[in-house]
Amino acid sequence: MALSSSSSLCYSPLTSKIGHFGAVRSGAEFCRRRVKLGGDWSFRGGSKVILKPKVVTSKLCQKHSGVYASWLSSSELASNVFTMGTTAVLPYYTLMLLAPKSEITKKSMESGIPFVLLGLVYAYLLCLSWTPETIQLLFASKYFLPELSSITKMFSSEMTLASAWIHLLVIDLFAARQVFHDGLQNQIETRHSVSLCLFFCPIGVLSHFITKQITKNAIKETHRES
């Protein structure tokens, strides 16, 4: 009943004539700004007041949405770079495994193009993943050395993981190329060691040294028998 009377005051013809009642005038102004009316006026039923709440978009929600969109784009970028980097090095391993003595393989492994391109990609990802606390995480201990817990926290970011993966791809390919060249120079089988370098680089290097030593011992034994 009180709401109906208030709305009647808001739109009654008498409202404009009551100039000395400031409260009534301010109340009418408030009604015009805040309340949206619907329906027809009648003396019997009065006016019908329909309150429609104003939808307010929170700045905090907008901020969170922007952060989520940014995170999503970073995640997609990291995933794409991860796939592209892995795909880029596979042809070189394929040549070393299937055609180690081919001229195409020798020229390809003498080229520095894959290392330059992957190095640029790594530098780009490193810049994107760098945060103000990166230095603190790298030198977290009192001896200014990294700690496992701090490195684990740092690699919780997908962008950091993607940059680390590119880092590993470059090092693995470089080690595999060194193994390949050393095998050609000393006539040592390197295909098994190159395969290991792709997935387990230190084991691949160890495998090459063992293979090299076994090959030398076999050559020495052959010379003794002859």
Q: What is the CA radius of gyration of the chain?
A: 37
Length of the chain equals 226
Minimal CA–CA distance to 130: which of 74, 68, 69, 57? Answer: 74
Can you give the pLDDT at residue 152?
85
Residues 6 or more apart whose CB falls under 8 angstroms from that of 86 comprise: 165, 169
Can you give the pLDDT at residue 189?
95
Minimal CA–CA distance to 99: which of 111, 84, 113, 109? Answer: 109
DSSP string, 178-211: HHHHHHHHHT---HHHHHHHHH-HHHHHHHHHHH
Can you give the pLDDT at residue 19?
45
**Mean pLDDT in consecutive groups of 10 residues from the start of the chain, 226 residues:** 41 43 46 45 48 45 43 78 94 96 94 95 90 77 78 86 94 97 94 95 97 92 79
Can you give the pLDDT at residue 111?
93
Can you give the pLDDT at residue 28?
45
Report the distance separating Cα 25 and Cα 207, nearest Å: 93
Can you give the pLDDT at residue 125?
92
Six-digit token pair at 173? Answer: 């390919």
Can you give the pLDDT at residue 18?
41
